[in-house]
Amino acid sequence: MLLGRKNRIHTRPKLTRTLPALAVLAVFTVVTLAQEQALQPAEPVAAEPTEVLAEPAQPSTPHAKPQAPQDQEEFLPVLDGQSIQTISFRKDMPIRDALRMLAQLYQKNIVPSAKVDGIVTVSHLYDVTFEEALESILGTHKYEIKDKFIKVYTNEEFMQDKSRFEYASIKLFYINAEEAQKLATPLLSEFGQIGVTSPAKQDTVPGEGGDSLAINDRLVVNDYPENIEKIRKMLAEVDVAPAQVLIEVTVMEATLNEELDFGIDWTTVLGNEPGFRIVDPEDDSSTLLMHQSGAKQFGGIFSVGISIDDVTAALTASETITDKTVLANPKILALNKQAGKLIIGKQEGYRDSTTIASGGNATTEQIEFLESGTVLEFRPFIGKDGLIRMELRPEQSDGSISVEGLPNKTTTEVVTNVMVKDGHTIVLGGLFKEETNLSRTQVPVFGDIPLLGELFKKTGDESKRTELIVLITPHIIQSPEEADGATRAEDVSRLSHAIRKSIHGLS
């Protein structure tokens, strides 16, 4: 018994010493597990959707914004990007408040004038840019952008604020300043002004050895910036390079000799030809109509002979084309709707007026020139589908200055408008010029006998007629490269040559 009690006594100290160690181990294990759980990633928790406008936000919700009272309802922007917004405005919202909120939403500096007033007439704007939203809010009000500020004015302030006036110099390339001024004037404001430079001209710079000075046409505009911009856009559409037309002109002169003889042709009377013939100039064969002694034959000429006994009264008429001459064959590059002129002839000067200064010390004379010969004036108009309308005025004239110094001119001219396709040829003819020479022959002694002397006389009327034939071939030039290319000119030249050859064959 004593032994057993002794054993129990020795065993208790061991158990007492073991319990603190186990407690320390348990605490260490718990701390380790807690650290491992803290290092593991947390699983995502699905957030329930919330409707911002459905009900007021609860204070316990960390991300909810407090809702405005019902009597002070503000707009609620829904951001769809940096520049596109959807905006709602409260009813009867003042424009100044709307501009203030618009400035906050888009981060803009909007400065309305003191007179800007009114209410917003829109309630919702969906997916709009800043410019679209601003214009929708302003209505009849105006605004301008200066640096980083957007200034808003009433319409009256905007139209009367001359401090916004700007000067602009607009350079013109293809139209003159007077035409541009007429087009730009309706675009000016009430107080806007516009000035023009003098028409493009050439002058000589003193001391520069005759170098030419070209002055370009310009518009100088003083107006609001928006009006100046309208004028710039309008002129950019109008002041463009015009189309061009390559025109080959061939001027030909055909000479026709006509003889009309009246009287007794003694060579015919004394001749022994078996008859007279009527010969068709278009046919080489002749037809013998009747036998008549003493009739004279004319090869290739229409002739008629009449015989009374042994005396034949001969009436002869002849018309033959004896010569064809190409007077000019220029190739002219003309602007669309711009007139051109071709002159083959002469200019004779004459005194038009004389001015004597007071005191008789100085005299000024005005000299004019009389223009005569072959003149062709033309003007092309390019239309649709490759059509060209040509204004043409060919002229055949002859002029001289009288002894008194007065000009005299005889002219034949035609004014016409012709529609022709690109590359086709216009033929103009029938312009005649006639020169007449009178001649008289008689048998000596017998021709001077009164009354009977007329039987021994012969008067001749010889005239020279020339016909002007003009060939005109226009071709539209689409680009400057075509104008410089030799292929186009060669094609036109070959076509004109073929037409001239066919005319020679017909004659």
Residues 153 and 290 placed together within one structural domain of the fold: no
Structural element, H or E, at residue 495: helix 486-506
Give residue-wise pLDDT tens across range 250-288: 888 887 765 544 444 444 444 444 433 333 333 443 333
Give residue-wise pLDDT tens across range 423-457: 898 888 877 777 777 777 877 877 788 877 777 77
Q: Report the residue count for the chain.
A: 507
More confident residue, 200 or 128: 128
More confident residue, 216 or 136: 136
Query: What's the total number of domains in the chain?
Result: 3
Which position has the token pair 């214009």?
A: 135
Q: Which residues of 431-463 are buried (b: 16+ CB within 10 A; e: fewer)?
A: bebeeeeeeeebeeeebeeeeeeeebebeeeee
87: CB partners within 8 A, 6+ apart: 75, 77, 102, 105, 124, 125, 128, 133
Q: What is the pLDDT of residue 168?
A: 92
For 366: left if phi > 0, alpha if psi spans -120 to 50, otherwise beta; the answer is beta
Tokens of 148: 């980083």
More confident residue, 202 or 153: 153
Q: Examine residue 183 and state whether it is found in any structural domain, yes or no.
A: yes
Give residue-wise pLDDT tens across range 334-387: 889 989 998 888 888 888 777 776 666 667 778 888 888 888 899 999 998 889
pLDDT at residue 130 is higher than 60: yes
Q: Examine residue 278 and state whether it is found in any structural domain, yes or no.
A: yes
CB neighbourhood size of 253 (10 A): 19
- For the ranges 3-7, 110-114, 170-174, 426-430, which has the lowest average pLDDT? 3-7
Mean pLDDT for 234-246 is 90
pLDDT at residue 1 is higher than 70: no
Residues 251 and 222 placed together within one structural domain of the fold: no
Q: Examine residue 66 and state whether it is found in any structural domain, yes or no.
A: no
Q: What is the pLDDT of residue 460?
A: 74
Residues 334 and 471 placed together within one structural domain of the fold: yes
Q: What's the mean per-residue pLDDT of the chain?
A: 69
Contact 168, 226 (CB under 8 A): no
- For the ranges 56-60, 105-109, 211-215, which has the lowest average pLDDT? 56-60
Residues 229 and 266 placed together within one structural domain of the fold: no
Tokens of 104: 């906050």
Q: What proportion of the chain, given as a percentage, has pLDDT over 70?
A: 60
Residues 230 and 286 placed together within one structural domain of the fold: no
**CATH code, domain with 177:** 3.30.1370
Residues 325 and 294 placed together within one structural domain of the fold: yes
Torsion, Cα 120 124 126 132, to 10 degrees, reads: -10
**CATH code, domain with 107:** 3.55.50.30
pLDDT at residue 7 is higher than 60: no
From 76, 95, 82, 88, select the one nearest 129 (Cα to Cα): 82
Residues 290 and 382 placed together within one structural domain of the fold: yes
Q: Examine residue 259 and state whether it is found in any structural domain, yes or no.
A: yes
CB neighbourhood size of 235 (10 A): 20
Q: What proportion of the chain, given as a percentage, has pLDDT over 90?
A: 10
Contact 413, 393 (CB under 8 A): yes
Q: What is the pLDDT of residue 220?
A: 92
pLDDT at residue 28 is higher than 50: no
Contact 87, 105 (CB under 8 A): yes
- Using DSSP's 3-state secondary structure scheme, residue 374 falls into strand
pLDDT at residue 228 is higher than 90: yes
Tokens of 218: 């310009």
Long-range contacts of 300-308 (CB under 8 A, 24+ apart): 302/278, 303/276, 303/277, 303/278, 303/279, 304/276, 304/278, 305/268, 305/276
Q: Examine residue 504 and state whether it is found in any structural domain, yes or no.
A: yes
188 band by pLDDT with thresholds 50, 70 and 90: very high
Q: What is the pLDDT of residue 231?
A: 94
237 band by pLDDT with thresholds 50, 70 and 90: very high
Q: Examine residue 152 and state whether it is found in any structural domain, yes or no.
A: yes
pLDDT at residue 324 is higher than 80: no
Contact 129, 90 (CB under 8 A): no
pLDDT at residue 487 is higher than 70: no
- Taking the C-alpha atoms of residue 341 and residue 228, their distance in angstroms, rounded to an integer, is 39
Q: What is the pLDDT of residue 74?
A: 41
pLDDT at residue 309 is higher than 50: no
pLDDT at residue 244 is higher than 60: yes
499 band by pLDDT with thresholds 50, 70 and 90: low
Q: What is the pLDDT of residue 465?
A: 77
Mean pLDDT for 223-252 is 90
Mean pLDDT for 180-206 is 77
Give residue-wise pLDDT tens across range 38-73: 444 444 333 333 333 223 333 333 344 444 444 443
Domain that holds residue 195: 165-200+213-238
Residues 151 and 181 placed together within one structural domain of the fold: no
Which position has the token pair 């005191």?
A: 359
Residues 134 and 250 placed together within one structural domain of the fold: no
**Burial (0-12, 13-18, 19+ Cβ within 10 Å), 465:** middle
Q: What is the pLDDT of residue 390?
A: 92
Tokens of 82: 């940096």
Mean pLDDT for 219-244 is 91
- Using DSSP's 3-state secondary structure scheme, residue 174 falls into coil
Q: Examine residue 82 and state whether it is found in any structural domain, yes or no.
A: yes
Q: Examine residue 301 and state whether it is found in any structural domain, yes or no.
A: yes
For 255: left if phi > 0, alpha if psi spans -120 to 50, otherwise beta; the answer is beta
120 band by pLDDT with thresholds 50, 70 and 90: confident
Residues 179 and 128 placed together within one structural domain of the fold: no
The strand pairing partners of 202, in sequence order, are 214
18 band by pLDDT with thresholds 50, 70 and 90: very low
Residues 79 and 114 placed together within one structural domain of the fold: yes
502 band by pLDDT with thresholds 50, 70 and 90: low
Residues 136 and 255 placed together within one structural domain of the fold: no
